[in-house]
Amino acid sequence: MPTFVQILDFIGTFAFAISGIRLASAKRFDWFGAYVVGLVTAIGGGTIRDVLLDVTPGWMTNPIYLICTGLALIWVILFGKYLIHLHNTFFIFDSIGLALFTVVGVGKSVALGYPFWVAIIMGSITGAAGGVIRDVFINEIPLIFRKEIYAMACVFGGVVYWGCHLLAMDTVLTQIISGSSVFVTRILAVKYQICLPILKGEEEPDI
């Protein structure tokens, strides 16, 4: 029987993979290219985190992420043209993934004994770095650097995790509160189109 967290993990991985595969299909990638872009979107953040923490990436010990990405690819091949109607569903799934991945990243770093500012960065990398690699592969400027609040929701969730930890809360409760704050921040940011200010600078710096 999968646990509740494993089910959330599967949903999040599926949503992240779908986001990569859809953007790959807009660039006319072939099936293999779409699979790879979906996979790096789903596991890229966690892989960078694990390389930095010097532990074995999760997908190298459990094939579920590869299988999940394969199912996402089949889904898009079969139902691609109806996906646009599921936009809101996937947005919710993607936000679930973002919340869960952040909590997993923060928790893993804390468990390894790293200070909280490292854990917050690792949570953000877990949640958002896969999307950055995705955008580099499809040759676009990473969305999260320009659009509404995304990675900042991870940072906020990490800070909340820290706060709960300082208050000596139970670990499971801490993870639920932290994950919920990521999820709610992301939902509110999109609903009310909350953006960070654009950085205005010179037109063409020379460095």
Binding residues vs its own copies (CB under 8 A):
18-19, 21-34, 36-37, 47, 51-52, 54, 56-57, 60, 63, 66, 76-77, 80-81, 83-84, 87, 90-91, 94, 114-115, 117-118, 121, 132, 136-142, 144-146, 149, 151-152, 195-207
Residue 204 per-residue DSSP state: S
Sign of CA dihedral 32, 36, 39, 41: negative
CA angle 59, 67, 38 (to 5 degrees): 80
Closest approach, Cβ 176 to its own copies, in A, equals 25
**DSSP characters for 145-174?**
GTSSSSHHHHHHHHHHHHHHHHTT--HHHH
Tokens 């079969």 locate to 78
Least distance (Å) from its own copies to the CB of residue 106? Answer: 14
End-to-end CA distance of the chain: 56
Select 131 or 179, whichever has its Cβ closest to its own copies: 131
Residue 161 beta carbon to its own copies: minimum distance, rounded to whole angstroms: 17
The minimum distance between CB 26 and its own copies, in angstroms, equals: 6
Q: Specify the residue, 70 or 163, whose C-beta has the smaller distance to its own copies.
A: 70
Q: Tell me whether residue 32 or residue 192 sits nearer to its own copies (CB atom).
A: 32
Quick count: other Cβ atoms within 10 Å of Cβ 112?
13
Residue among 77 and 173 whose Cβ is closer to its own copies: 77
Rounded to whole angstroms, the Cα distance separating 140 from 144 reads 11
Minimum CB–partner distance for residue 172 and its own copies (Å): 27
Q: Which is nearer to its own copies, 64 or 176 (CB)?
A: 64
| Rounded to 5°, angle at Cα 136 from 132 and 142 | 45
- Closest approach, Cβ 170 to its own copies, in A, equals 27
Between 40 and 103, name the residue whose CB sits nearer to its own copies. Answer: 40
Within 8 A by CB and 6+ apart from 151, the residues are 124, 127, 128, 144
